[in-house]
């Protein structure tokens, strides 16, 4: 009985990550900042098996991390804050240049290519996740760009 109990605990421990972290984050990258700029940007791909919402983000390297959507009306570009990013079940949601991004404002230090920054993501259902985001070039369109 005691042994069975241990097995159950182990099974629960192994099973935990499968349901706890149901949002998979891939291809995350930040753009290096240009001299003097205290504004940064992070892009990534998010996928939830069960459906979720990204409701917030934070990082110790910036005063705020907000979700923004860039939109073009004709040739006029504007950025709007969004309160949440919907993650429909089983669909990849891509945060990429000229579309959705996480904007870092009030950077405490420049973002240097080749380094990484921690970014905590907050979801409506899944527990918060901290991802390590590599810093790419200042005009990178992809993690390797």
Min separation Cβ 76 and another protein, Å: 5
Among 6, 10, 15, 77, binds another protein (CB under 8 A): 77
Strands 62-73 and 100-107: antiparallel
Site string for another protein, 51-70 (x = CB under 8 A): -------------x-x-x-x
Q: Is 78 or 130 the residue whose CB approaches another protein more closely?
A: 78
What Å distances lie between residue 41 and 8, 45, 101, 121, CA to CA?
43, 14, 7, 14
- 118: which 2 tokens? 């921690």
Among 31, 62, 87, 135, binds another protein (CB under 8 A): 31
Residue 4 phi, psi (nearest 5): -60, -40
d(CA 131, CA 60): 12
Q: Does 86 bind another protein (CB under 8 A)?
A: no
Min separation Cβ 81 and another protein, Å: 6
Q: Does 114 bind another protein (CB under 8 A)?
A: no
Strands 52-58 and 116-123: antiparallel
The closest alpha carbon to 57, from 45, 71, 42, belongs to 42
Q: Does 34 bind another protein (CB under 8 A)?
A: yes
Contacts with another protein, residue ranges (CB under 8 A): 31, 33-41, 64, 66, 68, 70, 72, 74-81, 97-98, 101, 103, 105, 137-139, 141
């Amino acid at each position: 009985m005691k042994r069975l109990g241990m097995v159950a605990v182990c099974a629960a421990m192994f099973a935990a990550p499968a349901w706890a972290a149901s949002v998979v984050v891939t291809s995350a990258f930040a753009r290096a900042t240009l001299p003097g700029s205290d504004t940064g940007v992070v892009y990534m791909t998010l996928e939830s098996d069960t459906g979720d919402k990204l409701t917030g983000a934070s990082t110790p390297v910036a005063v705020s991390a907000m979700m923004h959507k860039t939109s073009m009306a004709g040739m006029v570009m504007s950025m709007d804050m969004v309160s949440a990013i919907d993650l429909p079940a089983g669909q990849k949601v891509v945060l990429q240049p000229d579309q959705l991004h996480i904007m870092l404002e009030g950077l405490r230090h420049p973002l240097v290519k080749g380094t990484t920054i921690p970014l905590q993501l907050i979801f409506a259902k899944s527990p918060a996740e901290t991802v390590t985001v590599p810093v790419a070039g200042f005009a990178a369109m992809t993690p390797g760009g």
